[in-house]
Amino acid sequence: EQLTVIGRTIARMHLVGAITPFKHRVSIGPERLGDEPFAFLKSCSLLPPEVCEPYRTLVDVLLATIHERFAQLPDIEQFSIHGDFHPGNILWGASNTPHLLDFDDIGTGPAIQDLWMFISGDRLYAQDRLGDILDGYYEFREFDTDELLLIEPLRTLRIIHYAAWIARRWEDPAFKQAFPFFASRRFWDEHILALKEQQSALQEAPLIY
């Protein structure tokens, strides 16, 4: 029920976002979420020397695959979206009414960017969640199901972008307190493992609706 409500809400937000394009906001895609963060991480002193080369090799392969996926959809609709829409950015009010938060990362991108973070878990579970959220979305707006090809590429990009997001702010004492594990070898081992899992996920057929 909540996912269907979320789908309706996102569709209504997208109806508004598609009216007028942003003039001064970034484009949300593999360059912004992958290439730029990776360039920063490669030169980052926080990356342990012993994992630097395998990390670079792995991410090079992942980004090449991701760029290929986006290139398969050259005519994908791009419009004004939330950009960082996930369960933590919703406050539920009375009568199951969602209130949306955190519009700091708004930009121009595909509709799926505001949907994929609600689609997780094993394939069967993810398929069910996708069905629920798109059932709601279609009540207000059409959705190009070709964009489902981008779910795992976008998930992979978020993992890379998240690491760079912390690294760029590491000298801020608040970040060292909030993310004390970041400078440890364990973090990077787990980060690389998550990316290897995404490498496998990228080889699977996309979800369907």
Residues marked active site are found at: 84, 102
Instruction: Tell me the HSE value of 129 on the side-chain side, using a 13 A CA sphere.
Output: 15
Alpha helices in 34-146 (DSSP H): 36-42, 49-71, 123-137
Distance, in Å, from the CA atom of 171 to the CA atom of 183, rounded to the nearest integer, reads 11
Distance, in Å, from the CA atom of 170 to the CA atom of 29, rounded to the nearest integer, reads 24
DSSP string, 140-190: TS---GGGGGGHHHHHHHHHHHHHHHHHHTTTSHHHHHH-GGGGSHHHHHH
Distance, in Å, from the CA atom of 48 to the CA atom of 184, rounded to the nearest integer, reads 8
Question: Is residue 193 packed enough to be buried (19+ CB in 10 Å), middle (13-18) or exposed (0-12)?
Answer: exposed
